[in-house]
Amino acid sequence: MSISVDLPVRHRVDGAGARPSGPRDGSAGSPRGSHFQTDIEGLRAFAVFAVVAFHASVPGLTGGFAGVDVFFVISGYLITGQLTREVLRTGRIGLLSFWARRAKRLLPAAGIVLVAVGIASAVLEPLLGVYHSAQDLLAAALYTTNWHFISLGTDYLAQSTDDSPVLHFWSLAVEEQFYLVWPLVILVAWLVARKNPLRGTVLLATVIGTITLASLAASVLLTTSEPKWAYMATQTRAWEFGVGGLLAITAHALQSAEGTRAGAILGRIVGWGGLWAIGISAVAYDAKTPFPGYAALLPVLGTAAVIAGGLLAGTRGGTVGSLLSLPPVRYIGRVSYAWYLWHWPVLIFTEMVTGTLPWPIRCLLMVAAFGLAALTQRFVEQPVGRALVSIKRVGPTVAIGLLCMVVTVTTPLVIGGTAVTALGSSTAKVSSAALTAAFGPDTGKNAGPVSPSPLQAASDIPKPTACILDAPVARVAACELGSKTGTPVAVFGDSHVNQWLPAFETMASENDWHLTVFAKSGCPVAAYKPNGDGSRMSSSTCLTWRQAAIDMIVSTVKPSLIIVSSYDNYIDGSTKAGSTKILNAWNSSLDQLRRVGSPIAYIQDTPYPDKDVPTCMSAALDDWSSCSFARGDVKEPVEEQALLGNEKQVSLINLTPYLCDTARCPAVRNGLLLYRDESHITASAASALEPAMSQLFEKAGLIHPSK
C-alpha 528/C-alpha 510 separation (Å) is 35
Residue 433 or residue 94, greater confidence: 94
* Distance set, CA 19 to CA 40, 255, 312 (Å): 11, 21, 22
φ, ψ of residue 382 to 5 degrees: the values are -65, -50
Confidence grade of residue 29 (pLDDT, cut at 50, 70, 90): very low
C-alpha 617/C-alpha 669 separation (Å) is 13
Give mean pLDDT, residues 548-570: 93
Confidence grade of residue 517 (pLDDT, cut at 50, 70, 90): very high
- How many helices (H) does the chain have, and how many strands (E)? 29, 10
The pLDDT tens digits of the residues spanning 640-693 come to: 888 878 889 999 999 999 999 888 999 999 889 999 999 999 999 999 999 999
C-alpha 100/C-alpha 297 separation (Å) is 32
Does residue 269 contact residue 232 with C-beta atoms inside 8 Å?
Answer: no
Q: Is the pLDDT of residue 93 over 80?
A: yes
Poorest-pLDDT segment among 142-156, 195-209, 287-301, 386-400: 386-400
Give mean pLDDT, residues 262-289: 93
Residue 382 or residue 694, greater confidence: 694
The pLDDT tens digits of the residues spanning 151-168 come to: 887 443 444 556 899 999
The pLDDT tens digits of the residues spanning 415-453 come to: 999 888 888 765 555 555 555 556 666 667 888 888 899
Give the pLDDT of residue 436: 56
Residue 339 or residue 451, greater confidence: 339
Q: Collapse the DSSP code of 518 into the 3-class scheme (helix H, G, I; strand E, B; otherwise coil) and give the result.
A: strand
Give mean pLDDT, residues 617-631: 92
The pLDDT tens digits of the residues spanning 112-127 come to: 999 999 999 999 999 9
How far is C-alpha 427 from the chain's CA centre?
31
CB neighbours of 132 closer than 8 A, spacing ≥ 6?
159, 164, 615
Report the percent of the chain where pLDDT is more than 70: 85
Does residue 84 contact residue 24 with C-beta atoms inside 8 Å?
Answer: no
Give mean pLDDT, residues 387-402: 66
Over the chain, what is the mean pLDDT?
Answer: 85
The pLDDT tens digits of the residues spanning 221-272 come to: 998 878 888 999 999 999 999 999 999 998 877 776 666 788 889 989 999 9
Q: Write the DSSP symbol of residue 13.
A: -
197 prior amide bond cis, ω within 30: no
* Distance set, CA 315 to CA 25, 254, 617 (Å): 10, 14, 58
C-alpha 179/C-alpha 168 separation (Å) is 18
Instruction: Give me the long-range contacts of 615-618 (CB less than 8 A, separation at least 24).
Output: 615/126, 615/128, 615/129, 615/132, 615/159, 615/454, 616/126, 616/667, 617/128, 617/450, 617/454, 617/457, 617/667, 617/668, 617/673, 618/126, 618/127, 618/128, 618/129, 618/423, 618/426, 618/454, 618/455
Poorest-pLDDT segment among 49-53, 533-537, 595-599: 533-537
Does residue 305 contact residue 244 with C-beta atoms inside 8 Å?
Answer: no
C-alpha 2/C-alpha 84 separation (Å) is 11
Per-residue three-class SS string for 613-673: HHHHHCCCCCCHHHHCEECCCCCCHHHHHHHCCCCCCEEEECCHHHHCCCCEECCEECCEE
C-alpha 668/C-alpha 428 separation (Å) is 12
Per-residue three-class SS string for 57-80: CCCCCCCHHHHHHHHHHHHHHHHH
Q: Where are the beta strands (DSSP E) in 398-554?
A: 479-482, 487-493, 513-519
C-alpha 473/C-alpha 477 separation (Å) is 9
The pLDDT tens digits of the residues spanning 174-220 come to: 999 999 999 999 888 888 777 664 567 788 888 999 999 999 999 99
Give mean pLDDT, residues 391-417: 79
Q: Write the DSSP symbol of residue 555.
A: I
The pLDDT tens digits of the residues spanning 573-583 come to: 778 888 888 89
Q: Collapse the DSSP code of 93 into the 3-class scheme (helix H, G, I; strand E, B; otherwise coil) and give the result.
A: coil
Give the pLDDT of residue 36: 61
C-alpha 311/C-alpha 329 separation (Å) is 19
Q: Is the pLDDT of residue 20 over 50?
A: no
Q: Is the pLDDT of residue 396 over 80?
A: no
C-alpha 641/C-alpha 635 separation (Å) is 10
Q: Collapse the DSSP code of 82 into the 3-class scheme (helix H, G, I; strand E, B; otherwise coil) and give the result.
A: helix
Widest Cα–Cα separation across the chain: 97
Confidence grade of residue 516 (pLDDT, cut at 50, 70, 90): very high
| DSSP-assigned states of every residue in 477-508 | --EEEE-TTSEEEEEEESHHHHTTHHHHHHHH
C-alpha 396/C-alpha 391 separation (Å) is 8
Residue 483 or residue 238, greater confidence: 238
pTM of the model: 0.84
Give the pLDDT of residue 269: 94
Q: Write the DSSP symbol of residue 197.
A: S
Give the pLDDT of residue 23: 28
Helix, strand, coil fractions of the chain, as percent rounded to 5: 60, 5, 35
Q: Is the pLDDT of residue 705 over 90?
A: no
The pLDDT tens digits of the residues spanning 340-361 come to: 999 999 999 999 999 999 999 9
Give mean pLDDT, residues 450-459: 91
C-alpha 134/C-alpha 263 separation (Å) is 53
Strand order across the beta sheet in which 479-482 lies:
479-482, 513-519, 487-493, 561-565, 600-603, 650-653
Confidence grade of residue 474 (pLDDT, cut at 50, 70, 90): low
Give mean pLDDT, residues 82-87: 88
Q: Collapse the DSSP code of 469 into the 3-class scheme (helix H, G, I; strand E, B; otherwise coil) and give the result.
A: strand
CB neighbours of 699 closer than 8 A, spacing ≥ 6?
none
C-alpha 73/C-alpha 68 separation (Å) is 9
Give mean pLDDT, residues 516-534: 83
